[in-house]
A and B are shown apart, each in its own frame.
Chain A
Amino acid sequence: MKAVLTLGVGLAVVLALALVPVIGPRILVQDLFKVLCLLVLALNWNLLAGFAGLVSVGQQAFVGIGAYVMFATTILWGWDPLAGMLIGGMLAMALSIPIAFFAFRLNGAYFAIGTWAVADIARLSFGQWRALGGGTGTALPRDATREMFGVGLVRDLLGVSPAAAIDAVTYWLALGLATVMLVACWLFLRSRMGLGLQAVRDNPVAAQSVGVDPTRLKALVFLLTAFVTGLCGALLFIQIGRITPDAAFSVIDWTAFVIFIVVIGGIGTLPGPIVGVLVFYGLQRLLSDYGTVYLIALGLIGIAIMLFARRGLWGGLIHCIGFDPFPLGHAAPRLARQSIKEDAA
């Protein structure tokens, strides 16, 4: 019953969001695109930090790598940006293997600092890429995005300008990515490996003694989140259309905000990032005129939540209403109760 409710509400929300480019103003499409991308990044970071215990402050490395690789395949090889996006994700995953090799020697705060350092090395290295504009960056050729897969079709169907059609296509991709990521997270956490991950989170030594390999599970999560983070990075910069090393590897935009979203929403809960991203978007709309005050306010709210509501807004909410739309638990088989029911029937 509850599962049907979740599925119904979820489908309705996804459907309503899918209609936004058809009926909504373009500015809303662009805003929601950012929100959906931040949601994808937040779901990934929540999986890393909230479930695998890998508090990375270097996820902007994968955003930047995905984005730069997409730019390289588009500008240097003349590929479709969407093909470049896929390659970007795969290369982000490939590069996460050597990064994991080094970073996994570190624990806790040291891991956080290590990943941050790696991301900065990546930022400086990509800034040396002359063909992509070096430190000042470059822009995607206009034709590349206009001729991108699906853009022509959307133009004809909706009868909008090429720029609006590009916004619509990237928006739908972000919506698809966020939806797939949410469902995949839930399925993964309910699977054997997700159960093992939760055991490792609670007690790594005991987990080993019942046959769970913590390093293997953490490495798997690190690799998969690098892939999706890379995809999301490439998608973000298809829509933005311009790239610089500082923007693509921004620790504020792609990690600090994401951490804020996950922490206020509820780290280690699946709906937490959704709640967090909505609150973040609201605050951004309210406070964006105030410049740096806005960042200070975000920081204060983050600190307050960490001190007084450690399970985040979602954690508090679930405590009040007692209904979890994404239950991660496994209920024990109720053989006795079932047979009683059958007897009564």
Chain B
Amino acid sequence: MAILSLQGVSKNFGALKVTDDVSFDLAPGEALGIIGPNGAGKSTLFNLITGNLRPDAGQVLLDGRDITLETPMQRCASGVGRSFQIPQPFDHLTVYENLLVAARFGGGLAASEAPLACMDILHRTGLSALSDRKAGALPLLHRKRLELSRALATRPRVILLDEIAGGLTDGECVDLVATIRSLHAEGTAIIWIEHVLHALTSVVTRLIALNFGRVLMTGTPDEVMAAPQVQEIYLGIEA
């Protein structure tokens, strides 16, 4: 059974259809990539999955259970984690405390378990040396890592990554991709929105191309990137 399933999900902002009848299934442990031009409705799709937005039509299912009316907090507790496109750290808390909040609330860990779980994640994402630094003072790369780390601290079964590699240098990107790949290897299901295509296609096994809120095409990365209609919207990009 699919771990996450969208069925005919639509969302309008006034007359604008930002998400138009989108349906797809995510298998447990699958890594799915979402591409599309700016304004295609990618981040809106994430907000519909996490519950920050309510769809006007359609359903979101987690483990076959309808979660369309649940709050972001409930969905987080049920195992949906996310990182924001523009990092949203808790500025006045330290890096470690940022994770601690996530572990204690969304992750449901007890006071005795949470500290070590947080440190494990910080070691893994390369932030352990900065754990007592205020999150508001971090540079971009570390903010991106913090986004990923904090999402992991909620112990997600499905993790939504929104342009986590955007704005990073190639070297930084390689490290991040390695971390994401290891997550995938452990069986965490991943949906990843990304413009840095080489990073994306090195991890995901399936791609969805969105345009004007609709699913333009679904397939393996090679199939999707080779399709004329995708090439058209990504003019000049060679897969």
Contacts and interface: CB of A to CB of B under 8 A. Distances in A.
B163 to A, nearest CB: 16
B126 interface: no
Interface in A171-230: 192, 195-196, 198-199, 201-203, 205-213
Contact count band on B? 35 or more
Given A192-B104, A212-B105, A206 B72 contact: no
B118 interface: yes
A207 B43 CA distance: 18
Interface residues of A, number: 23
Given A332-B131, A332-B132, A196 B84 contact: no
Nearest to B94: A329
A333 B115 contact: yes
Interface in B147-193: 150-151, 153-154
B90 A199 contact: yes
B101 A199 contact: yes
Nearest to A335: B119
Contacts of B98: 199
B76 interface: yes
Interface hub of A196, A206, A213 (most chain B Cβ within 10 A): A206
Given A192-B104, A211-B76, A203 B90 contact: yes
Interface string A211-255: 111000000000000000000000000000000000000000000
B22 interface: no
A133 to B, nearest CB: 48
29 contacts: A192-B105, A196-B105, A198-B90, A198-B101, A199-B101, A203-B88, A203-B89, A203-B91, A206-B88, A206-B90, A208-B52, A208-B73, A209-B106, A210-B76, A210-B101, A210-B106, A210-B150, A210-B153, A211-B106, A211-B108, A212-B101, A329-B97, A330-B94, A330-B96, A330-B97, A331-B132, A332-B96, A333-B116, A335-B119
Given A209-B82, A210-B150, A212-B105, 14 more contacts: A195-B97, A199-B98, A202-B93, A203-B88, A203-B90, A203-B91, A209-B52, A210-B76, A210-B153, A211-B76, A211-B107, A330-B94, A332-B128, A332-B131
